[in-house]
Amino acid sequence: MRPRLSVRIGKLKLQNPVMVASGTFGYGEEFKDFIPLRSLGAIVTKTITVRPRRGNAMPRTCETPYGMINSIGLENPGIDGFIRDKMPALKKIGVPIIVSIASEGGFEEFVQLARRLDKIRQVAAIELNISCPNIKVQSTEYGVQRKRPGAATYDLRDQLIAQDPQATYNLVKAVRKVTGKTLITKLSPNVTSIADIAVAAEKAGSDAVCLVNTFTAMSIDIDTKKPKVAAGTGGLSGPAIRPIAVRMVWEVYRQVKIPVIGMGGILDASGALEFIIAGATAISVGTANFINPKASMEIIAGLKKYMVKNNIGALKALTGSLQL
């Protein structure tokens, strides 16, 4: 029996469910000497903003038990530099290219980026990174205000778009109007109910949701009494977060009809299978790329082996097969 690993996400048909996560795989070229890039399900680029970003001050990363904290600050060449310098090589790889985008201002920058990428045929999908914990948004144009008890109204500059269902809905709806490409909304785990955010994204027209982004975290150097990353806090990723991420995927899967892309501490096929059984249509490999550049290929091979061993013909039969 030859197992069928292909999956569909919106208009995308992936030859297998193994993607590589934004910010951990550069723009693909960085890994071409380690793995056959054409064997991946899809590549998610480093997040792009309208203008070039230098990112946060050094140091930007530190190790933690079973994980790492990063505070890169979305360093990138900006949309013009990306199209000019990165897209030519990406076009030649031969797998779906998903471009991750974010805003330094309001959602008008998301709209601007999506409109430009919509015109590039080789861009297969757009990932809305509304959940990066390492960048402050400097705009109030989310169409949402809240009021603290005994205080004046405040805007959403102090939190991520992905922490408010209405802000998420407004943003996704605005982007949906300017692109026909597959739209994936990347969710933050730093919320009370991630399912509520996922439902808002679905109602606004997102073709899929991706979860989870990193957990806001801090690690301290006990000798200097300073944070180990210059920004103070950063995003925790790696195997330490996987059980929480799996639980969140399961919660979201039960509430939405669109595909769920699972991520968070996947090192091997066993970890990938946990997400798929919990409800993920596809998975994304992140921190593992730093530890083992061949992790994605090993996961693909491991999924095939598991399916043959258990006489499973199509991967979709595993999605959401959790037995309670």
Helical ranges in the chain per DSSP H:
78-81, 87-91, 107-117, 165-176, 194-204, 242-253, 269-278, 288-291, 295-309
Give 286-289's long-range contacts (Cβ < 8 A, gap of 24+): 286/20, 286/21, 286/23, 286/24, 286/237, 287/24, 287/67, 287/68, 287/237, 287/238, 287/239, 289/20, 289/21, 289/24, 289/25, 289/31
9: left (phi over 0), alpha (psi -120 to 50) or beta: beta
- Confirm whether pTM is higher than 0.85: yes
Place of tokens 């899967």: 253
- In angstroms, what CA-CA distances link 206 with 33, 92, 101, 221, 224? 34, 27, 14, 41, 45
Q: Give 70 or 160, the one with higher predicted confidence.
A: 70
* Residues taking part in catalysis: 132
Confidence of residue 163 (pLDDT cuts 50, 70, 90): very high
Strand order in the sheet with 67-70: 61-64, 67-70, 234-237, 215-217
pLDDT at 70: 96
Confidence of residue 132 (pLDDT cuts 50, 70, 90): confident
136: left (phi over 0), alpha (psi -120 to 50) or beta: beta
Which structural domains are found in the chain, ordered by start?
7-317 (3.20.20.70)
pLDDT at 135: 56
Share of the chain above pLDDT 90, in %: 88
- What is the C-alpha separation between 292 and 298, in angstroms, rounded? 10
- What is the C-alpha separation between 47 and 77, in angstroms, rounded? 10
Place of tokens 């031969």: 94
- What is the C-alpha separation between 229 and 214, in angstroms, rounded? 15
pLDDT at 105: 82
Render pLDDT for 62-108 as a digit per residue (tens, 0 to 9).
999 999 999 999 999 999 999 999 999 999 999 999 999 999 888 89
